[in-house]
Structure 1
Amino acid sequence: MAAEIEVVVAHQERATLRVGEVFLKVDADPARAEVEAAALALAPVPTPEVLWRKPPVLALAALSGQALGRLGEPSTASPQAWAAAGATVRRLHEAPLPPWPGRSPDELATELDDKCAWLVDHGVLPAELVTVNRRIAEAALRPWTPVFVHGDLQAAHVFVEGDEVTGVIDWSEAGRGDALFDLAILTLGEEDRLADVLAGYGRDVDVEVIRAWWSLRSLLAVRWLVEHGFDPAAPGCEIDVLRSRL
């Protein structure tokens, strides 16, 4: 029987299809696709095998195991698996910096102001909710020592089998950035898993900055999600994260 085609995710910017044990990533932005290919080659952590690349398509072998978690759903992964994810993130952060730059705190602050204004002006979120979270987010907008970051390290992008990490997917946002940003995205909506992740990460970090990144990331994401057909108001997702800060 021929393998069926499964649409994993699809929107105006990119799509991912699964055909048997192969994932086909189609990206409309050549620069973003270049970043993903380069990051897969440089990252010192488990990643999918690149089978072939013919822009705009990147073919990757499927990973064993299952996603560490998914935003809005309770994770069934063990504390040890979350700790293993933290240790994997630390290996990435200790690697040499990639040659391309990342966004600065000033650039993020400008984007955040624009997104917050849009959320209020279009009645997507109450002004008080935006104001409180914008104030919390300020703590993340400080100078940081850049490290090699994944840039979109959602729990759904980390695959585990038992208590071991089998691979990390979706590297198109990788670059130089704040280590605490990766830790925040990994635990977004999974606050009770933060201690396990930090135990595996093995370094002292400022938890309040991680909390600030939760607010900042959620404020930045809501508009994109709305405009691309996703629901940030689903239980446990970005808007619930923002409400939990009140």
Structure 2
Amino acid sequence: MDEVQVVVAHAERATLRVGDVFLKVDADQARLDVEVEAMSLAPVPTPRVLWRKPPVLATAALPGTTLGRLGGPVTGSPAAWAAAGAALRKLHDAPLPSWPGRAGRSIDALAEELADECDLLVRNGVLPADLVSRNRRVAEGALRPWTPAFTHGDLQIAHVFVDGDEVTGIIDWSEAGQGDALYDLATFVLGHEEHLDDVLAGYGTDVDRDVMNGWSSLRSLLAVRPLIEQGFDPFAPGCEVDALRARM
């Protein structure tokens, strides 16, 4: 029998690997609905759905390896990063899904969530006040009208698989939907901004880097407490807190 590998596990969901099969267990059926629908609509390689029996979704493993992970080493040639940029542009140019995604929350809702989270981070002593206030100002630069795009919503480099210079698949689509394309780009290069030029070479257009920095700060500020509560370490080298410090 194949060994059962725990890929990620926390209170909301867990992902297991058994041989060449990934099992995602999620008590929120709506999230699984989004994941399956988004993978069927996305014009980029995605895992093949083997079966689904709520609360479990089974998908086939992808060939190749991930580009890396936040806080860890990265792999892939400049051409591989450019290929990822081209795949992302193809996704952003695709017809819109019918639902808003993680990157598509309203400006007012995001501003309120940002204010509340910054207050909690300072009041509970999680982060220094100057670090929070500086990044809050940077984050507010992302809160402007945008043209909706088909976004992945959680495009960490660990979710993009490559084989050589080819993208073989993108995983974890539960946050997908309509949103700001720059949110995806900011998430993708978070902690690895040295690869942005390669990504944009494949993406095919220049972008507003101040807005990207805003999304990076906003995403990191909103993630710190939930990550701690789920047993992860946003203070690890190269992770969310380092990304916030980089704005200082």
Task: Give, in whole Å, the separation in 2 of the partners of 1:198 and 1:28.
Answer: 37
Matched residue, 2:162: 160
Matched residue, 2:52: 53
Matched residue, 2:77: 78
Task: Give, in whole Å, the separation in 2 of the partners of 1:117 and 1:198.
Answer: 35
| Deviation of 1:111 (Å) | 1.0
TM-score, structure 2 length as denominator? 0.97
> Which stretch has the larger CA shift, 224-233 or 99-108?
99-108
**Which of 223, 227, 234 is the matching residue for 1:225?**
227
Task: Give, in whole Å, the separation in 1 of the partners of 2:14 and 2:8.
Answer: 6
Quick check: 1:121 aligned with 2:123? yes
Give the percent of matched residue pairs that are identical in Structure 1 and Structure 2. 71
Task: Give, in whole Å, the separation in 2 of the partners of 1:171 and 1:67.
Answer: 16
Supply the RMSD in Å over aligned alpha carbons: 0.7
**Which of 241, 244, 248 is the matching residue for 1:242?**
244
**Which string of whole-angstrom CA distances, capped at 9 and with x for unpartnered residues, describes residues 143-186 of structure 1?**
00000000000000000011110000000000100000000000
Task: Give, in whole Å, the separation in 2 of the partners of 1:105 and 1:98.
Answer: 19
Secondary structure in 2 matching 1:98: coil
| Deviation of 1:31 (Å) | 1.1
| Deviation of 1:138 (Å) | 0.9
| Deviation of 1:76 (Å) | 2.2
1:71-150 to structure 2, matched below 5 A, reads 71-101=70-100, 102-150=104-152
**Which string of whole-angstrom CA distances, capped at 9 and with x for unpartnered residues, describes residues 20-69 of structure 1?**
00000001111111111110111110000000011110000000111112
| Deviation of 1:110 (Å) | 1.1
| Deviation of 1:200 (Å) | 0.6
Matched residue, 1:13: 12
**Which string of whole-angstrom CA distances, capped at 9 and with x for unpartnered residues, describes residues 55-97 of structure 1?**
1100000001111121011212111111100000000001110
User: Structure 1 residue runs of 4+, over 4 Å off?
Assistant: none
Gaps of 5+ in 2: none
Matched residue, 1:63: 62
Task: Give, in whole Å, the separation in 2 of the partners of 1:14 and 1:130.
Answer: 29
Quick check: 1:214 aligned with 2:216? yes
Task: Give, in whole Å, the separation in 2 of the partners of 1:77 and 1:114.
Answer: 38
Quick check: 1:42 aligned with 2:6? no
Gaps of 5+ in 1: none
| Deviation of 1:216 (Å) | 0.7
